[in-house]
Amino acid sequence: LILLDSLLQEKMISLACDFSSWFWNPKIWLPPDVDWDNFKKPKVLNNTMIEPENYAKFSDLWYPIPMALVVMLVRWVVEKWIFRPIGLKMGLRDNKRQLPVKNEVLEKGFRKSYKTITGKEVANLSHKTGMTSLQVDRWLRQR
């Protein structure tokens, strides 16, 4: 049992190493003639020495992600509490999306082929429901 466990552990480690080397392949992530070892050496750029510890790190992503959430929250607040009331005072209408009236026959036809409903299918649905083709078309667009 211990032998089987250690064999399984070695296989998992080997699999993880293979996946890591495949995922971090420098041909995918880096420009030509650049390897991951290049980031372990200091570089000189515009007469300034850049040490490897000053390169960007994955932990630097902790700043932009919360800031993006803050920006999204600010946008929602400004749209809802500033721009919407201004637009309403200027005479714009507050149009909410109208959902169509429930109709099981049309719903079934919509689910069957909602991307490619042909004129024959619309005519068939209008005959089944007693609605005109225009009403069926409108229902499908609203859906």
Query: pLDDT of the chain along its 143 residues, tens only?
Result: 677 788 888 899 999 999 999 998 999 888 888 888 888 888 888 888 888 887 777 788 888 989 999 999 999 999 999 999 999 999 998 887 778 888 888 888 888 876 778 888 888 888 988 999 899 888 888 87
What residues does 48 pair with on adjacent strands?
A: 45
> What is the predicted pLDDT for the residue at 119?
83
> What is the predicted pLDDT for the residue at 114?
65
> What is the predicted pLDDT for the residue at 90?
95
The CA distance from 125 to 117, in Å, is: 10
Exposed, middle or buried, 54 (CB in 10 Å: 0-12/13-18/19+)?
exposed
CA-based radius of gyration for the chain: 30
Which residue from 142, 143, 108, 141 is spatially nearest to 125, judged by alpha carbons?
A: 108
The CA distance from 42 to 44, in Å, is: 7
pTM over 0.85: no
Residue indicated by tokens 């507050």? 94
